[in-house]
């Protein structure tokens, strides 16, 4: 695990919203943990409110794309799913460190986010990678089976109601020996905010209810990859500590990233006095000597491949010719 400290001093600048469009999915997941319409609206807002350079999103997207440099093969056609869209698109459009991507399909459920990303690409002078844009939902991928070499999702899949289903669709979209790369927020994310919110609710309302979205635990990530049918699964974790001048600045940052609460229950909005109490408790409990407050972002990186005959496979159970007892006898006596 690697801990990275980022200190954000200046508030984000706001841009005027110039267009919007509502995307409606053809069907709905049976289990509605998250309100996808609300999340789409939050991402519409984030498309125009987010800054050009966000240190946290840039670090996560760069660490995710860096994994391509560990692969000997290239990935001519790539699909980028919604989430931290602009930083990851920028990284995948920069050869030769982008894994040999020649064609990039950029997809998001938010029309505004796709439009903002398109505008950025048009303004860029780098046209080495052909880029196409698509408005669609990660829960219902409109991608032909076995059509892409790489699927990348940076901080987007943790908002899907059926995460295993979304990962299965991603695997089916891959060609044999295609690579799946994803970064999702883990269960330790915003643990400071959870504590402050719980204390404020108990003090003001006499009880607690879910206010921060549920997130996957590290131990679940490997099971998710195996359940989705990926081979050679890999999971690792980074922890980022971002410092803010106050709890209210943290909330502003979450809104700019499109990472605010999207639970499907309608009663999950904090009352004004409880929200103010949460901010006050946060600032008083976690304030550092330099006057800033920290916020933890745990990022789980997942890697998986679509099955192919060229991939290494585990030996059949019971086929070993050397026992652990023999190894212990040989090397144990030398210690």
Tokens for 71?
């692969």
Given this model, what pLDDT does residue 153 score?
Answer: 96
Tokens for 247?
């709890």
Say which CATH topology domain 33-320 has: Rossmann fold (3.40.50)
What is the Cα–Cα distance from 325 to 335, expressed in whole angstroms? Answer: 15
Q: pLDDT tens per residue, the chain (335 residues)?
A: 445 556 544 333 333 333 333 333 444 446 688 888 989 999 999 988 887 788 999 999 999 999 998 888 999 999 999 888 889 998 898 888 889 999 999 999 999 999 999 998 888 777 789 999 999 999 999 999 999 999 999 999 999 999 999 999 999 999 999 999 999 999 999 999 999 988 998 888 877 776 677 788 888 999 999 999 999 999 999 999 999 999 999 999 999 999 888 776 645 566 788 888 999 999 999 998 888 999 999 999 999 999 988 887 777 777 778 887 888 887 776 55
Tokens for 275?
């929200």
Given this model, what pLDDT does residue 332 score?
Answer: 72
Cα 291 off chain centre by: 29
218-256 pLDDT tens trace: 889 999 999 999 999 999 999 999 999 999 999 999 999
Given this model, what pLDDT does residue 241 score?
Answer: 95
Q: Are 256 and 51 contacting, i.e. CB atoms less than 8 angstroms apart?
A: yes
- The residue among 198, 220, 209 whose CA lies nearest residue 278 is 198
What is the Cα–Cα distance from 248 to 280, expressed in whole angstroms? Answer: 9
Given this model, what pLDDT does residue 206 score?
Answer: 79
What is the Cα–Cα distance from 25 to 28, expressed in whole angstroms? Answer: 7
Tokens for 13?
């600048």
Q: Where are the domains of the chain?
A: 1-30, 33-320
Given this model, what pLDDT does residue 30 score?
Answer: 62
What is the Cα–Cα distance from 186 to 327, expressed in whole angstroms? Answer: 38
DSSP letter for 263, please: B
């Amino acid at each position: 695990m690697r801990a990275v400290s980022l200190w954000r001093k200046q508030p984000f600048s706001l841009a005027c919203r110039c267009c919007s469009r509502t995307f409606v999915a053809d069907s709905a997941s049976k289990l509605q943990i998250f309100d996808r319409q609300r999340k789409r609206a939050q991402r519409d807002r984030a498309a125009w409110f987010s800054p050009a350079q966000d240190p946290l999103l840039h670090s996560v997207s760069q660490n995710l794309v860096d994994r391509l440099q560990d692969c000997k093969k290239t990935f001519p056609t790539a699909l980028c799913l919604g989430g931290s869209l602009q930083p990851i698109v920028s990284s995948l459009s920069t050869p030769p460190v982008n894994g040999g991507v020649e064609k990039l399909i950029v997809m998001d459920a938010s029309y505004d986010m796709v439009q903002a990303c398109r505008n950025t690409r048009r303004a860029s002078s780098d046209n080495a990678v052909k880029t196409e844009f698509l408005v669609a939902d990660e829960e219902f991928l409109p991608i032909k089976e076995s059509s892409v070499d790489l699927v990348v999702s940076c901080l987007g899949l943790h908002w899907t109601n059926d995460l295993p289903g979304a990962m299965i669709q991603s695997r089916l979209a891959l060609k044999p020996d295609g690579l799946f790369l994803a970064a999702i927020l883990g269960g330790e994310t915003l643990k400071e905010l959870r504590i402050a919110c719980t204390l404020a609710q108990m003090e003001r309302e006499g009880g607690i209810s879910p206010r921060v979205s549920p997130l996957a635990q590290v131990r679940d990530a490997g099971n998710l990859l195996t359940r989705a049918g990926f081979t050679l699964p890999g999971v690792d974790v980074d922890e980022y500590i971002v410092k803010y001048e106050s709890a209210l600045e943290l909330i502003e940052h979450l809104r700019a990233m499109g990472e605010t609460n999207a639970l499907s229950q309608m009663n999950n909005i904090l009352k004004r006095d409880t929200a103010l109490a949460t901010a006050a408790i946060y600032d008083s409990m976690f304030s550092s000597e330099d006057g800033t407050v920290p916020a933890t972002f745990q990022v789980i990186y997942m890697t998986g491949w679509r099955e192919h005959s060229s991939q290494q496979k585990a030996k059949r159970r019971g086929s070993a010719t050397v026992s652990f007892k023999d190894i212990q006898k040989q090397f144990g006596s030398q210690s």
